[in-house]
Structure formats: structure tokens, C-alpha cells
Amino acid sequence: MWSFSNIANNLHKWLSETFNPTMTLIIEMVLAGVAVIGLFAALGLVLVIMERKVSAWMQIRLGPNRVGPKGMLQSLADTLKLLVKEGLTPNGADKLLFNLAPFVAMIVAMLLMAPIAFAKDFQLWDLNIGVLYVSAISSIMVISILMAGWASNNKYSLMGAMRSGAQIVSYELSAGLSILAVVVMTGSLQVSDIIHSQADGWWIFKGHIPMVVAFITFIIAVTAETNRAPFDLAEAESELTAGFHTEYSGMKFALFFLAEYVNVFIVCAIGATLFLGGWMPFHIGNWTQFNHVMDYIPSSIWFFGKTFFLIFVIMWFRWTFPRLRIDQLLNLEWKYLLPISMINLLIVTAMAILKWHF
């Protein structure tokens, strides 16, 4: 059966036979970096047109329908437009930090790709603290936003950055506690161990109601962490023009725009890995024939199918709920999600100790 792992293994075999071990490692690292950059470009094109088509579908309209068949090349046209636009730097801006901020956002997104398992035996780096690594690196994203808001020398940018800082730092708590629920059930921080622990059923099913609660909390928290509506207070158009990237144009704006969509993909990939089995097919107990049929579907299809389903859910949020006020946003986290997450983690811990899960 065709799979990414077969391609990777054959490529590694050919490189090992052709070059010495050191050169083989260097070439593989370069190819991995180029592949991640290519994936970023593809995700930008796909997710932008997906966002527009999903919003059009929910509002009973056509959406983009001029460039290419059924408007499918609209995001490519937008990319070309951003490439030829002039990038301006305000006179009063801190030029170093202003120009560095979008690159920090992209670097963080690239680092987060490392532990994600895109298919069976197809993972850039299966480190033994994969979940902790993701939680730690994702926290750096707020630095790029604060950097952009402060360096722009614009009151709207600074206000948007401060809102984003408060929002991301707050919702990281609930997201972290939701992730801990899976770690407690699995007994490991390694991504491959978490996926293999779901061979007989995904955690959202075999973890009973507490894992469903953890999953819902996780989705709400990561929606807020990625500054997506209805939690897009950092770039509220009706109040702050464009928030922290008000002063950005051309490719620097495009990098922030791309980083937002890549981060949505990453958090949905993490959610699919932790709660929906990642690349693991859908198996039911001792249903041997059913499980055998599910195994025929390539693992990469399972992974991307689950991830894009969660992306659709997050897009669904945007076109369903109105934007919250900043006080409502913080009340939701500190008065509701955080207490629920803490109590839920205690229940999950008791279930893991008493072996009450399937």
C-alpha cells in the first residue's frame, strides 16, 4: 500500500548507499526543512480557500468564483498580490524587532512540526517528551505578537498585542490541563506512545465522559490561543483596525497571515493525535473483520482526514458565534474552563489509577 513511510524509507536507503552517514544526515535535514516549507505553502493556499468556501456555504452564497475553476485559484492570486506589494516600515518603529517579528512567528510554527506524526513511521522527530516540547515551543508564539505590537509604534497594534498576550497566557492553562488528561491515561509524553495506546480505540471514546470534556476544553482553548473568532480580540477589525499587524504589509503581513493558518493546522493535528488516534485507523474492540477493512485506508489519509475535520470545526466556530468582549473572554477561561479542567484532570487521574477506562 502506498504511504509516506515507504517513500521516506526508500529515500533513506538510496542516500545511505550513495553518501557517507554524515552527508546523508545533512541531506535528510535539508530535505525535511524544504518539505516543511512546502507544506506551509500548500497549507496556506488550501486553508485560505477552505475558509472562504466554508463561510460561503454557511451563509448560503458562492464565495470566490472568478479565479480558476469555481474560484479555487483565488488564494494563489492573493499570494501573487502580496508578493508584489511594497513592504513598508513606519518611521517611528523599532526596525529590527518590527522586521524580526513575522519570522519569529514562522520559526515557531516550523519547530512545532517536528514531533507531529503525519503517517505510520513518518515523523520528523519522535522525542520522548514530545507533548511537553509542543507545549513549551507554542508558548513562544506570544513573543512574536508582543514584539510586533510594541515595535510598530502604533496604539492599535500595542493594544492588540497586549490583548493577545493576556489571551494566550490565560488559555494555555486549560489547553495544558486537557493535554495532561491524555498524558495521565497514556503514561507517556512521547507522541508515538500516545498514538499506539489508541490501537484498540481512540481516547475520546474509551476514556468515557472526562475525555470528551477534555477534548471540548482543548478545542475551545486552542481556538483562543490561535486568535481565531470568536476569540479574535487581538485583531478585532471593528475596534483595532487589524490589531497587532496593523502596520504590516506585503510579505511581512503574509507571513503573519500564513502563521495563523499553519498554527490552526498544528493545533488540530495535535488534537487529532491526542484524542482521535492520529494516523491510527478506527478500530472497535474484537471486530476483526471491521478492523481489517479500516487498516486498508492509508494512515496518512486517517491523519489528514481527522485534522481537517477539526479545522472545519474551528472554522464553523468563526461563522457561528459573535466575537466576545475581552472581559467575557477572560471570564470564560478563569471562571469556567480552568476550574472544569482541574476537576476533570482529578477525575481522569482517578480513572487511570483504578483502570476504569476501556
105 has a pLDDT exceeding 50 = yes
Average pLDDT rounded to a whole number, residues 36-41:
89
User: Can you read off the three cell numbers belonging to residue 352?
Assistant: 487511570
Q: What pLDDT, in 10s, does the model give residues 285-332?
A: 778 888 888 888 888 899 999 999 999 999 998 888 888 888 888 899
Distance (Å, rounded) from C-alpha 229 to C-alpha 220?
11
Distance (Å, rounded) from C-alpha 122 to C-alpha 117?
6
Residue 180 pLDDT: 94
- Which residues, other chains included, contact 37 with Cβ-Cβ below 8 Å and sequence gap of 6+? 110
Residue 273 pLDDT: 94
Closest CA to 177 of 137, 221, 112, 139: 221
Residue 1 pLDDT: 45
Torsion over CA of 34, 35, 40 and 44, rounded to 10 degrees? Answer: 110
Residue predicted with more confidence, 88 or 38: 38
Average pLDDT, the chain: 88
Tell me the DSSP string of 296-354: TS-HHHHHHHHHHHHHHHHHHHHTTSPPPPHHHHHHIIIIIIHHHHHHHHHHHHHHHHH
Q: What pLDDT, in 10s, does the model give residues 133-187?
A: 999 998 888 888 889 888 988 888 888 888 888 888 889 999 999 999 999 999 9
Percent of the chain past pLDDT 90, that is, above it, reads 36
User: In this structure, which amino acid lies at residue 278?
Assistant: G
Ramachandran region of residue 202, left (φ > 0), alpha (ψ -120 to 50) or beta? beta
User: Can you read off the three cell numbers belonging to residue 239?
Assistant: 475596534
Average pLDDT rounded to a whole number, residues 271-285:
89
Distance (Å, rounded) from C-alpha 139 to C-alpha 196?
27
User: Can you read off the three cell numbers belonging to residue 282?
Assistant: 478506527
- The residues that bridge with 122 in the sheet, in sequence order, are 119
CB 313 within 8 A of CB 282: no
Q: Which helix (H) or strand (E) holds 123?
A: strand 122-123
195 has a pLDDT exceeding 50 = yes
